Each structure stands twice: as C-alpha cells, then as structure tokens.
A = this chain, B = another copy of it.
Amino acid sequence: MDEVIADVIPKFISLYNRDFGTPLDLVIDSGNEVFKNVPEDVNQKWLEYINEVGFFRDLAVIPDSQRVIKALQEKYDVYIVSAAMEFRNSLVDKYDWLAEHFPFINWQHIVFCGDKIIEADYLIDDRIKNFQNFKGRPLLYTSPHNLLVTDYERVNSWEEIAGLLL
C-alpha cells in the first residue's frame, strides 16, 4: 500500500512542516528514508506520527493506481498485501481507506501481514526485504528510499505497470 498505492510522503512532509517548519519538501535525498532529511533531534517523530489513529486514513492515492488495478483485475487475481501489522492503529484506517478508494477490491483479496509469505506470480513492492523469500517475479516500485537499488526490475509508475502486465 504505502508508496505504491497510498502516498505517505506528502503526509510526513505536511506533519513535519506543521510541527517544526522543517522544509522537508525541499530535498529528498536519493536512497534515504524521508525522515533522514530532517534534523536529528526530531527525526524519530515519524514513528509517533505513524502510530497515531488517522495517519493512514487520509493519504493521497498514487496516480493511476485505481484505474490500472481495475484493469489488471480483468486479467489477474489482484491482492492488496500490506505490512500493516507493524502498526496496530493502521489496521482499521487502512481497511477504511481501501473501502473508500478501492471499493472494487473485496475483502477476500486484502492481506495485512508482517512478512509477506504469499504465493503469487508477481509482487509489486517498494521494499526489497519483501522480495527475499518471494518465488514469483518481483517488481520494485520506485520510491525515494529505493532509488539506489539496482538488483530488481523496476517500475516507476502505474502507467508502466499497465504497459508491462496488460
């Protein structure tokens, strides 16, 4: 979900700007986590934000993800697999967010987990740790924190995914 269909980065930016006036939106270093771009004394604040009820509820939808996923459903069994289990308060927010923005994905096709121990043909993910035990074809969805990774087939947008899989 995060950084593939749900855009967490603008949310972090707006919260850091709100609380510290930190101009986090000026520079995001390639290969760095977004919270490494703020002064050290407040860079753990993201953990507090992300554990708050509501953090995941109003995230922006990544462009074209709704349209392309709907089209993929014609050809594939599409599952949303999110490592939501790390954050207790994310569970209901993520569930409601999906119901709002992806109402065409039924509950049978949603997985909230820790390790992604799933059996699938493709896995579109921004985190390479999720590819470690995956036996299908991994597709690395570009995000600032993974820009320096070169080991995986990369997709930069949902438009590219459509070109590849449809």
Contact = CB atoms under 8 A, between A and B. Distances in A.
Most chain B CB neighbours (cut-off 10 Å) among A106, A109, A117, A135: A117
Contacts of A79: 115, 117
B85 A92 contact: no
B109 A115 contact: yes
Given A85-B110, A88-B92, A91-B95, A118 B115 contact: no
Integer count of this chain's copies in the complex:
2
Interface residues of A, number: 24
Contacts of A109: 114-115
Interface of A: 79, 85-86, 88, 91-92, 95-96, 106-115, 117-120, 133, 135
